Amino acid sequence: MSQANDIVIIGAGPAGLTAGYELARHQRAPLVIEKSRLVGGIARTEQYRGFLFDIGGHRFHTDIEEIQAIWRELLGPDLLEVPRVSHIFFQGRLIKYPLQVGDTLRSIGLGASLAAILSYLKVALFRPAELDNLEQWLTARFGSRIYRTFFKEYSEKVWGLPCSQIQADWANQRIQGLSLARTIINALGGKKTATTLIDQFLYPRLGSGMLWEEMARRMVNHGAELELGWEVSGLELDHGRVARLRLSNGHETRSVAAGQVISSMPLPHLIQRLEPAPAPEILKAAGRLRFRGFLLVGLVLSSDIGTEHPWQWLYVHEPNLRVGRVQNYRNWSPHMTPDPDMTALGMEYFCDQGDEFWSLADDELVSLATAELDRLWPGSGELVTDGVVYRQSHAYPVYHLGYQEVVTRLRDYLGGISNLATIGRNGLHRYNNQDHSMVTGLEAARRILAATG
Binding site for ligand FAD (CB under 6 A): 10-16, 33-36, 41-43, 56-59, 231-232, 264-265, 269, 294, 395-396, 424-426, 432-435, 437
Q: Smallest gap, in angstroms, from Cβ of residue 154 to ligand FAD?
A: 13
Residue with Cβ nearer ligand FAD (119 or 437): 437
Q: Smallest gap, in angstroms, from Cβ of residue 337 to ligand FAD?
A: 19
Q: With contact defined as beta carbons under 8 Å apart, do 260 and 419 qualify? A: yes
Q: Smallest gap, in angstroms, from Cβ of residue 43 to ligand FAD?
A: 4
Residue with Cβ nearer ligand FAD (265 or 282): 265
Residue 215 burial by Cβ neighbours in a 10 Å radius (0-12, 13-18, 19+): buried
Q: Smallest gap, in angstroms, from Cβ of residue 445 to ligand FAD?
A: 13
Residue with Cβ nearer ligand FAD (180 or 245): 245
Residue with Cβ nearer ligand FAD (268 or 381): 268
Q: What is the rounded end-to-end Cα distance, in angstroms, of the chain? A: 19
Secondary structure of residue 71 in the 3-state scheme: helix
Residue with Cβ nearer ligand FAD (214 or 435): 435
**CA 111 distance to own-chain centroid:** 37
Nearest of 298, 237, 412, 311 to residue 88 by alpha carbon: 311
**CA 399 distance to own-chain centroid:** 14
Q: Smallest gap, in angstroms, from Cβ of residue 31 to ligand FAD?
A: 11
Residue with Cβ nearer ligand FAD (18 or 179): 18
Q: What is the CA radius of gyration of the chain?
A: 23
d(CA 257, CA 242): 9
Nearest of 121, 138, 148 to residue 175 by alpha carbon: 138
b/e 233-271 (16+ beta carbons within 10 angstroms → b):
eebbbeeeebbbbbbbeeeeeeebebbbbbbbbbbbbbb
DSSP 8-state secondary structure symbol assigned to residue 60: B
How many residues are given for the chain?
Answer: 453
Residue with Cβ nearer ligand FAD (367 or 393): 393
d(CA 208, CA 210): 5
Q: Smallest gap, in angstroms, from Cβ of residue 430 to ligand FAD?
A: 9
Please list, in sequence order, all residues whose beta carbon lies within 8 angstroms of the beta carbon of residue 357, skipping any fewer than 6 positions away: 295, 322, 349, 351
Q: With contact defined as beta carbons under 8 Å apart, do 8 and 449 qualify? A: no
Residue with Cβ nearer ligand FAD (48 or 431): 431
